[in-house]
Structure 1
């Protein structure tokens, strides 16, 4: 696996036509991410099993395994099921393309020629989500984070019980519990930064 810069992510570009791959690279180049090419659905699946991707741009019409079949396979595999897929198709898509795309798990659907600004914006959103998920996973894996999260959950459960009491809860006890949870959450936020 290739080591990426701290904020750099892999983006998979899947299209059987060289000129389309070149166009996608030109549009996404300003994002300064690692762009990985695949010329078929089969190549895309191999690439996804070798490395992690923040997002996949997948052409719909390809010989052999088309975009719908490739997307469905990506979503069936545990290792790749959470990777967002943006399906891309030619100028005159069939009427049911968008429906079929969403039904196999695509996150978005674009028609060529793609507006460069819109594509960069959409891909940028998926990159941000990917980075946030990576940071959350890293924070959850830190020693002691599980115990702190359990403690916070227990404190929240105690607050919920106080709120469920038939008589109105003691405002000072409730305020103390809320302050305790706030301090715990702040300590978690301070440790993760």
Structure 2
């Protein structure tokens, strides 16, 4: 994945050009990169190259359909938690089997075309915000782990000093520094 950690992109997958144009028009107001794919194979190539905040995936496509595409995306380690919203035409929307299969494949939502542009934009905005929050949380966890490694390294140095017979006053000073670091990590 060759993408900045703060980027939030949306993958639009539909074999019909008109549907992609409509999705782009509805989602342009969100001001995030929109990546197109006109087949399941093309979608998989895109997902292998970068991370997406959400995938909007047409159910019925020639070749690899939306269900198979979703299943393959979910098998990729870096994409297994990527939300997938299935989009389907009215001809399949009344078939409960399609919805069940979509959710069983890992979809988080199932919308019927033609969709309400406001509803779609609002739902996608929620997924974008979740993506940003998850990135922020991962960054904070990484920073916390780095601080813990630093304290652990300093504690090991104190242990070496103690084993080497360093003076008691110097050891007490180093232990005080470590205790202060641990309190800071705990937020108190």
Q: Name the structure where helix makes up a greater proportion of residues.
A: 2
CA contact (8 A) 2:74 2:80 kept: yes
Unpaired runs of 5+ in structure 2?
Answer: 152-183
TM-superposed deviation, 1:95 = 2.9
SS of alignment partner, residue 108 of structure 1: strand
Gapped regions of structure 1 (runs ≥ 5): 149-182, 188-193
Tell me the equivalent position of 1:157.
none
Superposed CA deviations along residues 60-85 of structure 1, whole A, max 9, x for unmatched, are 00000000010111112212111000
Q: Which has the larger radius of gyration?
A: 2
Specify the alignment match of 1:99 in structure 2. Answer: 100
1:108 matched residue in structure 2? 109
The answer for the alignment partner of 1:31 in structure 2 is: 30
Q: How many residue pairs align between the two structures? A: 153
Q: Kindly tell me: are residues 147 and 106 of structure 1, through their superposed partners in 2, closer, same or farther at Cα, counting changes over 3 Å?
A: farther
Give the Cα–Cα distance (whole angstroms) in 2 for the partners of residues 139 and 147 of structure 1: 15
Change (3 A) 1:47 1:115: same
Question: Once the 2 structures are TM-superposed, how far is the Cα of residue 2 of structure 1 from its aligned partner?
Answer: 6.6
The structure-2 alpha-carbon separation of the partners of 1:184 and 1:57, relative to structure 1 and needing over 3 Å to count, comes to same
Which residue of structure 1 aligns with residue 181 of structure 2?
A: none
Give the structure 1 partner of residue 129 of structure 2.
128
Deviation at 1:92, TM superposition (A): 2.2
| Alpha-carbon offset, residue 145 of structure 1 | 5.5
Tell whether the 8 Å contact from 1:74 to 1:80 is kept in structure 2 after alignment.
yes
Report matched runs for 1:1-193 at 5 Å: 8-93=7-92, 94-142=95-143, 143-144=146-147
Q: Which has the higher contact order (CA 8 A, sep 6+)?
A: 2
Contact 1:57 / 1:87 at 8 angstroms: preserved in 2?
yes
Contact 1:139/1:145 (CA < 8 Å) preserved in 2? no
| C-alpha displacement of 1:7 | 5.7
Q: Tell me by how many angstroms 1:96 deviates.
A: 1.0
Question: TM-score when scaled to structure 2?
Answer: 0.74
Q: CA RMSD in A?
A: 2.3
Equivalence for 1:172:
none
